[in-house]
Structure 1
């Protein structure tokens, strides 16, 4: 039932075939059956309370398209009445008094919040492990990572515990777990989905909230619900809804395949082959695909990225670092980011932003010739779940805890929209991999139309569900 997706559930509920209580009962049964293995959903609410809320939804007028449909919220976002631990012992058990903006919008559309989805501590790192709830495991191999930081959301979708999910993406956190769990994840154009109007609202433009789903149609519907400017924030953007534009196919779209960025990005064997095969199959949809040489220096992008990222992380977490008692409870990678950010000068940040600006101008010129740029969603297959992060890729050592996700930086650095679509299965353990489809700012609907055409041709989530 749940595996069909949120829009399919809505259609059946509107037709009187199923009720909110039916959906909630199926949701709780599925969680009970599989969550003990994968540890995707945390802080699950009381079952009787959830069934009562579903019964109330059945008795009430429809609030919106999500009326009576269960939602588990990423444990970095606030959902009123539920704990927001952010994977940190410092905040374990802290109950949110209000909803964050995008959660309030989903709830206003009728969603029933059932619990939270697991994430790494403070969302740092693309592996969903933390000292509060432990590790989320890949549903295709429980000894492997589920990715992150929206790893719990990706696994909950893959396993049919929920039909839609929210997430957030600074460094691939909606794309990496989507790829590794055989579902869809989208980083929207920066500013389309508002963040919280807390602290600085002008300078930090790296992270964004966004949707995850089992189908591009659900992805579009969730995005449309989350999206829209918040008057308290200066950089919000408005776009026409994506779902009405999702039909029409991909005929004539031009894709530039960036591969391993001109040989400069380490890739595990099989990743490029699998993604290249997926792009060849997209040619059957009328898409024109061609190889694209590295359009910008990889080292310059990386230096700009780690400067601006550390500056952003320090801006958010420096108050914890300033308190010795709280500092002692921060993980090593958080300490590294904060201390690196605190050591930066204003001119360090300026130089990084000049590089970012140059890359943005270069990308704009690329989109005169291509509608979409394509990259793998990760540089390696899901790694050992007991690791904090992989020390190397194909024999090349990683000099930071997040360098193995460098492939997501080109879109993140300049706020481009990117949809991760399933590319198939491969590698030594026959595990999922995803493909990033990246467009210019404001091209969210066009990317979703391409993703929908791909889904209609392949339906990887339906074709290869996890086996329990």
Structure 2
């Protein structure tokens, strides 16, 4: 088997033991990118192959000691990696080369990872569909006429096609979860504050978005998470967290799983998604888990009200400096900007009170359940040329992102969530589940994921494209 489809954990072990060189791995990586990337457009702004081979040779000479030493990685094109363009998918920033690494990228390099390029993302990361006017659309490897999801779509496709073994991403409204589900890989949204963001502008008020890892198995997710994690003195909310480390001995036996389903009919789903989710839950039960249906724990419309207020407020603060260039922004960015700028302080306060009430109710649920489960997306991958889903089973979506409402309950509270593969639908397209834990239970949720992966290994079924 080509080393590209081996796990990052196994590759790192081989590199450290001398059974594999960084040069050989880089050569295989570049060959794989050359073969596959033109078909799917997942990795953009690639470094020159000669420079990457020289970096790999230098790593071999210096010794491969870090936890990611010698592993190639491409950074989501919302984060800065020194020497690479950070376009954010916007023509406004096209061609702007980052002068230094963001905190997360610096940690990856310090751990020995070799940055080969960037992964594609929607413009400003808005919308769960990876397309932009700078780099174009990233295609789903299971059907290149379909969306790969987003906003960490380039990362998910790079993993699914064997161009990378680990990838970083970010998640405000499912951006690590929707693309993981649609590409048959794992995406993990950590507890908010575990992975520090950049200390730019306000560092106290906004608690919706987080950076996080993706991989083809939970152990590799844990490997990357441990490198990303830990406080930074420039950030007030970071916290020390014990390393996740190895996920040996993971088991589903006697784990209490609460199934939220369609939230009492409040969430519409395309045909087949709930059925596939139920089949996955039955597999968990067969492995010893205790699965129970959970009645709607909180009014979903109130969660949506809180979310859309706090999200528009947060997004608007980030793109407010571009307000005079609205004509150059995508429609969804203008929508968020105008809503955010029009908000009063009391509107934001009321939204946060709703969030606080929902947190209290969720905390009570986690006294009974080890994890809560929802589908990772409400629809199957849609045509790549469509900007977003406008309806689900005849029900019109009133915003550009309403079709991803299923990810909001966990995002609003900053809970750890693992998106795991759940199998394939009638058309051969993948779907996934969200496994949600209480704040701080990152290791427990990844352990559940490891037990699921041992049981199923869905990523072992790769697209015909590969």
Give the match's secondary structure for 1:373: strand
Q: Which runs of 4+ in 1 moved over 4 A?
A: none
The answer to whether 1:423 aligns with 2:422 is: yes
* CA deviation after TM superposition for structure 1 residue 250, in Å: 2.4
Task: State the TM-score, normalized to the length of structure 2.
Answer: 0.98
Q: What is the CA–CA distance in structure 2 between the aligned matches of 1:275 and 1:248, rounded to whole Å?
A: 21
* CA deviation after TM superposition for structure 1 residue 309, in Å: 0.2
Deviation by residue 1:236-275 (Cα, 9 ceiling, x = unmatched):
1221111235533222210100011111101000000001
Paired residues of 1:172 and 1:405 also in contact (CA < 8 A): yes
Q: What are the residue-to-residue correspondences of 1:136-215 with 2, within 5 Å?
A: 136-215=138-217
Deviation by residue 1:315-341 (Cα, 9 ceiling, x = unmatched):
1101101x2xx2221111100000010
The answer to whether 1:393 aligns with 2:395 is: no
Deviation by residue 1:10-37 (Cα, 9 ceiling, x = unmatched):
1222232221011001111111111111
* CA deviation after TM superposition for structure 1 residue 5, in Å: 1.7
What is the aligned partner in structure 2 of residue 332 from structure 1? 331
What is the aligned partner in structure 2 of residue 451 from structure 1? 449
Paired residues of 2:7 and 2:165 also in contact (CA < 8 A): yes
The answer to whether 1:381 aligns with 2:358 is: no
Deviates more, 1:70-79 or 1:232-241: 232-241
Paired residues of 2:297 and 2:361 also in contact (CA < 8 A): yes
* CA deviation after TM superposition for structure 1 residue 196, in Å: 0.4
Structure 2: stretches of 5+ with no match in the other structure: none
* CA deviation after TM superposition for structure 1 residue 230, in Å: 1.0
Paired residues of 1:246 and 1:446 also in contact (CA < 8 A): no
Q: What are the residue-to-residue correspondences of 1:16-415 with 2, within 5 Å?
A: 16-321=18-323, 323=324, 326-415=325-414
Q: What is the CA–CA distance in structure 2 between the aligned matches of 1:399 and 1:165, rounded to whole Å?
A: 32
What is the aligned partner in structure 1 of residue 458 from structure 2? 460
Q: What is the CA–CA distance in structure 2 between the aligned matches of 1:65 and 1:351, rounded to whole Å?
A: 44
The change in CA–CA distance for 1:444 and 1:246 in structure 2 (over 3 A counts) is farther
Give the match's secondary structure for 2:357: helix
Structure 1: stretches of 5+ with no match in the other structure: none
Q: What is the CA–CA distance in structure 2 between the aligned matches of 1:175 and 1:466, rounded to whole Å?
A: 23
Q: What is the CA–CA distance in structure 1 between the aligned matches of 2:17 and 2:345, rounded to whole Å?
A: 59
Q: What is the CA–CA distance in structure 2 between the aligned matches of 1:64 and 1:384, rounded to whole Å?
A: 41
Give the match's secondary structure for 2:296: coil
Paired residues of 1:158 and 1:466 also in contact (CA < 8 A): no
Task: State the TM-score, normalized to the length of structure 1.
Answer: 0.98
Q: 1:442 aligns with which of 440, 443, 466?
A: 440
Q: What is the CA–CA distance in structure 2 between the aligned matches of 1:19 and 1:232, rounded to whole Å?
A: 36
What is the aligned partner in structure 2 of residue 12 from structure 1? 14
Paired residues of 1:159 and 1:466 also in contact (CA < 8 A): no
* CA deviation after TM superposition for structure 1 residue 284, in Å: 2.4
Give the match's secondary structure for 2:388: coil
